[in-house]
């Protein structure tokens, strides 16, 4: 497979459509040195981006939490995303919208005088965890913890917050796992490196309280699906030792969609009826 810098197509960049190979930034862009960047991962199904406006609104909010303003309205971002899919002649695709502090007069921690830039790309992308939807993903347990909201803007989907996620996923893959489960700064179960997590026990669902990590759009969608099915959901702090007593488990995220989990560390889970039902129901919902 070619590198992502070698793909063909168009990328929307700062209000204009440019050839894929020409979508470049300067090496002294502030974001490259100080992680002043935010992004969204979205999926288009049958030509329509699921929860598109919610993603655009979150992108704007993330930037504000990172102390910069994206110079495009939500409506303009929506139009640009549609234009990218059209330019690339794509119906089912992954869409990445992102904004960052570029190169400018400042080259230090402060970047007030640097321009805020934005780009949107789209490409074909299949299942995030390969065949895990059938047999269940295998997760490692990360040594890194999600930080306290007193130390990071935990409600922002910001590039710098994924540094420990990348390291955790690399360590997991080296052990033959698809991903890693992360605890939070207090030791409670938090999330995977790029997806939220759910567990079942006695016909009810338990999911970590999103008080120090991103409350995902897919997470909220799945919670709505469970409510419609009149399944009780306990949104609470979960201790690691509770993993032994849970029966089923699944991950949720735009990239992950709904992916059953078969193993976390030494704990095993059934890829059962509820996990399969939610995964199938989500697939129908996003393509409705």
Whole-angstrom Cα distance, residue 189 to residue 191? 7
Q: Is the dihedral of CA 165, 168, 173, 177 positive or negative?
A: negative
- Count of beta carbons in the 10 Å neighbourhood of residue 174: 9
Beta bridge pairs of residue 101: 116
DSSP β-bridge partners for residue 44: 49, 93
Q: Which candidate in 81, 138, 157, 169 is catalytic?
A: 157
> Rounded to whole angstroms, how far apart are CA atoms 10 and 26?
19
Is 135 catalytic? The answer is no
Report DSSP state, residue 106: -
Q: Are 146 and 185 in contact (CB under 8 A)?
A: yes
Q: Are 70 and 59 in contact (CB under 8 A)?
A: yes
**Which active-site residues does the annotation give?**
157
């Amino acid at each position: 497979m070619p590198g992502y810098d070698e793909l063909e197509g168009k990328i929307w960049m700062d209000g204009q459509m440019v050839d894929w190979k020409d979508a470049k930034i300067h090496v002294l862009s502030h974001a490259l040195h100080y992680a002043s960047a935010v992004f969204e991962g979205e999926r288009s199904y049958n030509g329509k981006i699921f929860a598109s406006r919610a993603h655009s609104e979150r992108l704007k909010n993330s930037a504000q939490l990172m102390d910069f303003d994206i110079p495009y309205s939500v409506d303009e971002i929506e139009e640009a995303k549609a234009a990218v899919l059209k330019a690339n002649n794509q119906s089912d695709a992954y869409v990445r919208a992102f904004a960052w502090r570029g190169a400018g007069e400042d080259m230090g921690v402060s970047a007030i005088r640097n321009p805020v830039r934005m780009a949107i790309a789209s490409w074909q992308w299949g299942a995030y965890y390969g065949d895990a939807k059938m047999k269940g993903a295998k997760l490692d347990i990360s040594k890194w913890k999600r930080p306290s909201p007193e130390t990071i803007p935990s409600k922002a989907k910001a590039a710098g917050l994924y540094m420990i996620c990348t390291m955790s996923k690399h360590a997991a893959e080296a052990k033959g796992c698809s991903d890693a489960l992360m605890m939070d700064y207090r030791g409670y179960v938090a999330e995977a490196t790029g997806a939220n997590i759910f567990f079942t026990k006695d016909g009810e669902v338990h999911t970590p309280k999103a008080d120090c990590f991103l409350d995902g759009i897919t997470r909220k969608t799945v919670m709505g699906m469970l409510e419609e099915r009149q399944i009780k959901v306990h949104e609470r702090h979960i201790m690691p030792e509770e993993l032994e007593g849970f029966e089923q488990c699944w991950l949720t995220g735009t990239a992950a969609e709904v992916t059953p989990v078969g193993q976390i560390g030494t704990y095993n889970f059934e890829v059962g009826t509820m996990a399969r039902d939610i995964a199938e129901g989500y697939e129908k919902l996003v393509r409705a």
